[in-house]
Amino acid sequence: MPKVQSLFFTAPQKVELRESDLPTLKDDEVLVETVCSAISAGTEMLVYRGQFPHLADVHDDMSSDLNYPLAYGYACMGVVKGIGKEVNSEWLNRMVFAFHPHASAFILHHSSLILLPEGLSAENACFLPNMETAVNLVQDGAPILGERVLVLGQGVVGLLTASLLSEFPLESLVTVDRFKLRRKALEIAGQKSKVKSLAPEDLRPFDKTQGKPSTFDPFDLTFELSGSPSALNDAIALTTFSGRVVIGSWYGQKRAEIDLGGAFHRSRIKLISSQVSTISPELSGRWDKSRRFDVAWKALERIKPEKWITHRFGLSDAEKAYRLLDENPQETIQVVFDYTL
C-alpha cells in the first residue's frame, strides 16, 4: 500500500507533510481515500498562528492536548476503498464525509462517517461543519418575524449564516466585513436584494456626544462572527435595548478590552455563547446532532456554497495555502485541498 501523507502543524507559521503506513484495517473499520478537504480560516488559522490554548478541555472538537506537532482539520470528503469483515459491502466506493485532519487517506470506524446525499458535490459537502455551525448559530439566535438583524464577519461561517437568515421574513439583514471580496460574495449568490453588505466604517451606532446619525436603527439580533474580540464592542453598541448578541467567534488567545459599562449596564442586552459541539438546552429535548445534520445537508443543497471556493491547492502545496490565508486573507473566502492535483 502506498504511503499516506498527513499534514502537521509543527510551530507557528510552520506546516509539514509526514508520510506513514496505514494501520491494519480492523473488522469494523473502513479505508477512505480523500478527495478534498476544507481549511477553516477561523479555528484552524489560530492553530497555524499559535494563538490557540494548549489545553483545549473546553473545546470538545479538539484534542485535550494541543501542542505542536499537531494534526488538525475537520472537513474531509473521500471515497471508501476498503472495508473490514463486519462492514456492509454497500459502503464500498461510497462518498463519505469525516471530521478528520487533512490526510491523503485514513481509517475510521464506519460509524464515524457520514454518507454523502445523492446529488451533492464533494466540494459542497466540505462545507458541512461550517453549515452545521451556521444552523446552530441561527437556532441560538432564534430570529423573529420582522426583526432587524446584523452579521459581523463574512467569512465562510458568516456567509452561510447570512444565507440562512435571508430565508427568514426579517425587516432587514445587514452584513459587515472589511474585505470587499467577502462583501460581494452574497451578490454572487443572487441575494443582493435581500442583504445589505457594508464595510465597517459605513455602519455607525448613534453617537450622542457628537450628534452623528446612525446608518441604521439599532438591531434586535446581532451575530459576532468576525473572529476579532474588539468587534464585540461594535456588536453591543449596535444592538438595541433587550436585544441579543450571539457570539460565534472563537478568539483563542486573542484579547481585547470589552466595554460593559455605560449604556450596556442598562441595556438588558443578552450575550449568547454559541458553539456547535453542543445543542442549546432549550432545544435538546427535541433536537439531536442527527436532526441538525439533516437540516445542514438540506441547506447545503439549497445554497451550494462551493461557489465561494476561491483557491484549490494540492496537499503538497499546503505551505502556500496557509501563507495565503495568513498574509492575504482579503484574496480568499474558502480554500480547499484537492487531492487529485
- Residues 195 and 73: their CA atoms lie apart, in Å, by 31
pLDDT band at 58 (very low <50, low <70, confident <90, very high): very low
Query: What is the separation of C-alpha 306 from the centre of its chain, rounded to a whole number of angstroms?
Result: 14
Q: Write down the CATH number for the domain with range 4-116+304-338.
A: 3.90.180.10
**CATH for the 129-273 domain, from 3.40.640.10, 3.40.50.720, 3.20.20.20, 3.10.580.10:** 3.40.50.720
- What pLDDT sits at residue 78? 98
Percentage with pLDDT > 90 across the chain: 79
Query: Do the beta carbons of residue 77 and residue 38 sit within 8 Å?
Result: no
pLDDT digits (tens, 9 = 90+) for 197-222: 999 988 876 554 555 556 678 999 99
Region 91-118: mean pLDDT is 97
Average pLDDT, the chain: 91
* Least-confidence region, from 58-67, 223-232, 312-321: 58-67
What average pLDDT does the segment 217-237 reach? 92
What pLDDT was estimated at residue 149?
A: 97
Hey, where are the domains in the chain?
A: 4-116+304-338, 129-273
* pLDDT score, position 127: 98
- Residue 331's pLDDT is 98
Tell me the mean pLDDT in the region 294-310: 97
- In this structure, of 76-80, 86-90, 106-110, 255-259, the range with the lowest mean pLDDT score is 255-259
Residue 250's pLDDT is 81
Q: What is the pLDDT averaged over residues 211-238? A: 85
Q: What is the mean pLDDT of residues 180-195?
A: 81
Residue 186 clears pLDDT 50, i.e. is over it: yes
Residue 19 has phi, psi (to 5 degrees) of -100, 145
Q: How far apart are CA 305 and CA 272, in angstroms?
A: 26
Instruction: Quote the pLDDT of residue 3.
Output: 87
60 pLDDT more than 50? no
What pLDDT, on the 0 to 100 scale, is given for residue 212?
A: 53
Please give the residue that has the higher pLDDT: either 214 or 25: 25
Would you say residue 329 has pLDDT above 60? yes
* H, E, C per residue of the chain: CCCEEEEEEEECCEEEEEEECCCCCCCCEEEEEEEEEECCCCHHHHHHHCCCCCECCCCCCCCCECCCCECCCCCEEEEEEEECCCCCHHHCCCEEEECCCCECEEEEEHHHCEECCCCCCHHHHCCHHHHHHHHHHHHHHCCCCCCEEEEECCCHHHHHHHHHHCCCCCCEEEEECCCHHHHCHHHHCCCCCCCEEECHHHCCCCECCCCECCCCCCEEEEEECCCCCCHHHHHHHCEEEEEEEEECCCCCCCCCCCCCCCHHHHHCCEEEECCCCCCCCCCCCCCCHHHHHHHHHHHHHHHCHHHHEEEEECHHHHHHHHHHHHHCHHHCCEEEEECCC
Q: Say if residue 52's pLDDT is above 50.
A: yes
- pLDDT, mean of residues 227-232: 88
Confidence check: pLDDT of 84 > 70 = yes
In the sheet with 196-198, reading across from the earlier edge strand, the strands are 196-198, 172-176, 148-152, 219-224, 239-247, 270-273
Determine the pLDDT at residue 251: 79
Minimum mean pLDDT range among 59-68, 77-86, 145-154: 59-68
